[in-house]
Structure formats: C-alpha cells, structure tokens
Amino acid sequence: MTLASTAATGALSGQSQLVIENVFKQFGEGPGAVTAVDHVSFDVKPGEFVSVIGPSGCGKSTLFNIIGGLLDEYSGNVMIERERIAGPHKAVGMVFQEESTFPWRNVVENVAFPLELQGVNKSERLDRAHHFIDLVGLKGFEKLMPSALSGGMRQRVSIARTLVSGPQILLMDEPFAALDEQTRLLLGDKITQIQQDLNQTTLLITHNLTEAVQLSDRIVVMTYRPGKVKRIVNIDLPRPRTSDVVSSDAFGHYVAEIWADLREEASRGMADSESARRASSRG
C-alpha cells in the first residue's frame, strides 16, 4: 500500500460527511479505453474545505460529476452521511466552471431561481436572495442583467445561486478558472468568509496551486492520467484566513512542497501529449 492510499484509507474512519471510496471510472472499452479515475479514496469532514488538484486530464471533472451524481456508471462508493448516492443528492450544491447564469434573468432573479423551484413564497425568496447577493459582495447590482456584469461578478452570481438553497456540501469545479489573479484572490476571500460563517463543507476542484493552498484545510494531489491520489496534504495555516496569507513563509513552503509533486505529474502529461503529437504526425 502506498503512502497516499494509507493516508486516504485512514481518513475514512473519522466522522466524514462525504466519503469517496475506491472510485474507479473508465471511458470506452478495449485498447482505446481511458481510465479517468483510478481507485480514488478520500473524505471530507463537516465544515472542512478540501481541494482536489491535478494536471489537465487527470480526471478531476469526472470525479466532480460522479460526486455530484451526474455520472452514475462507476465502481466504488460515494457516500453522503454513510449512504451511497444514487443520482444528484439534495445535500449537494454544485458550481460549474462554465458560465451558468440565465442571461434573461437579472441578478436577483438568477439567485432566487432554486427557491422558485422549491415553491418558496416570493417575499422569502427575495429576502434569502438578497442575503446571499450581499454575502458575495454584489449588493447594488441586483437589478442588472448578467450581460452587464464582469466574468467574476457572474461567477459570484452562480455561487450565490448555489448557496441560496443551503446545501450542506458545496462542490465547485474550477469556479475561478476564467478570472484574473487579483479577482481570484479577492473572491477566494469571500468564499473563505462564507465557508467559515456557514460552516460549509466544501470540495473544490482546481488546477491552481495558490488557490488550493489559500483556501483549503486539506489538499488531495492527483497523479496525471490515470488519476490516482498521489498525496493528501494538511494545510495548517491559521484561520480566520485572508488572501494576505499568500505572502507568508509558511504559504510559500506549502506551494513549493506541493509543486514538486505537481510538476512531476504535469511533466508526464506534457510528455504524453508530445508523443501523441509525434505519433499523429507520423501517421
């Protein structure tokens, strides 16, 4: 058993809200089959912020979709409060990387949408929507259409729309990928604050190392394809935490330590695409 798998299995014995146990997913059959997720195990405890980091193509979004109940053909278990999930779970809220606001609805109508589906009456819907708009720092923008907002503001609308229905577990797949570094750091502060205020159990999928260290209690480092758990690192930086932490020595040490692992995996990914390119130019 490797060090990583010992750590992952050991973590399963605590009081976990979300348990990922031996999850395996392959696309296709025969020689062209791709193993996207290879026996991945880790857990997330109540109120904990865990990030999954790994190079492009290592199976992060596949894992995200499995945990969110959007991909049901896989082996292993995803358990929420000790029950194996079958399809999307009501305790889970998801934020996707892609633009996902409704362009024909203004900010408050976007954020209140899940409450409309739940049949919540209008005045309560508006109250709750305003509360979360305020939390993500969009007070004053309620009546604007998404087209009048920046990319970072639209992403905050998506986050508020996910938070408004009070998910016990927040899943986010590269929610800040399209943002510039300053916006990313500041939005990270908002997320940290919300997560701490609501004691929100959070799983973030990212390929951004500084973002992962800034936000997380633990980081699951994945290998390049097939995506296995390479290592799980505890981030013992003080909380409450703000983006100022990025200038501390301890932060730099975590980044350097995890980068050594990530570089190895990213290099394998680069070598793989280089040999595929050569093979296709020969053929």
59 binds, among Mg ion, ligand ATP, none (CB under 5 to 8 A by kind): ligand ATP
Contact indicator for 85, 79 with CB cutoff of 8 Å? yes
Nearer to Mg ion, 146 or 175 (CB): 175
76 binds, among ligand ATP, Mg ion, none (CB under 5 to 8 A by kind): none
Comparing every residue's Cβ against Mg ion, the nearest one is 61
Contact indicator for 174, 232 with CB cutoff of 8 Å? no
Stretch that binds Mg ion, among 57-65, 108-116, 209-217, 234-242 (CB under 5 A): 57-65
Nearer to ligand ATP, 114 or 227 (CB): 227
27 binds, among ligand ATP, Mg ion, none (CB under 5 to 8 A by kind): ligand ATP
Shortest Å, Cβ 56 to Mg ion: 7
Secondary structure of the chain in HEC code, one letter for each residue:
CCHHHHHHHHHCCCCCCEEEEEEEEEECCHHHCEEEEEEEEEEECCCCEEEEECCCCCCHHHHHHHHCCCCCCCEEEEEECCEECCCCCCCEEEECCCCCCCCCCCHHHHHHHHHHHCCCCHHHHHHHHHHHHHHCCCCCCCCCCHHHCCHHHHHHHHHHHHHCCCCCEEEEECCCCCCCHHHHHHHHHHHHHHHHHHCCEEEEEECCHHHHHHHCCEEEEECCCCECEEEEEECCCCCCCCHHHHHCHHHHHHHHHHHHHHHHHHHHHHHHHHHHHHHHHHC
Nearer to ligand ATP, 59 or 167 (CB): 59
Stretch that binds Mg ion, among 26-34, 59-67, 249-257, 260-268 (CB under 5 A): 59-67
Nearer to ligand ATP, 145 or 266 (CB): 266
Shortest Å, Cβ 57 to Mg ion: 8
Q: Does residue 61 belong to the site contacting Mg ion (CB under 5 A)?
A: yes
Nearer to ligand ATP, 25 or 125 (CB): 25
Chain positions contacting ligand ATP, by CB under 6 A:
27, 34, 36, 54, 56-62, 207, 225
Nearer to ligand ATP, 138 or 222 (CB): 222
Q: Does residue 57 belong to the site contacting Mg ion (CB under 5 A)?
A: no
Shortest Å, Cβ 201 to ligand ATP: 21
Instruction: Please give the C-alpha separations between residue 133 and each of 140, 148, 153, 208, in angstroms, as whole numbers.
Output: 9, 16, 10, 26
Shortest Å, Cβ 202 to ligand ATP: 18
Shortest Å, Cβ 206 to ligand ATP: 9
Residues that bind Mg ion (CB under 5 A): 60-61
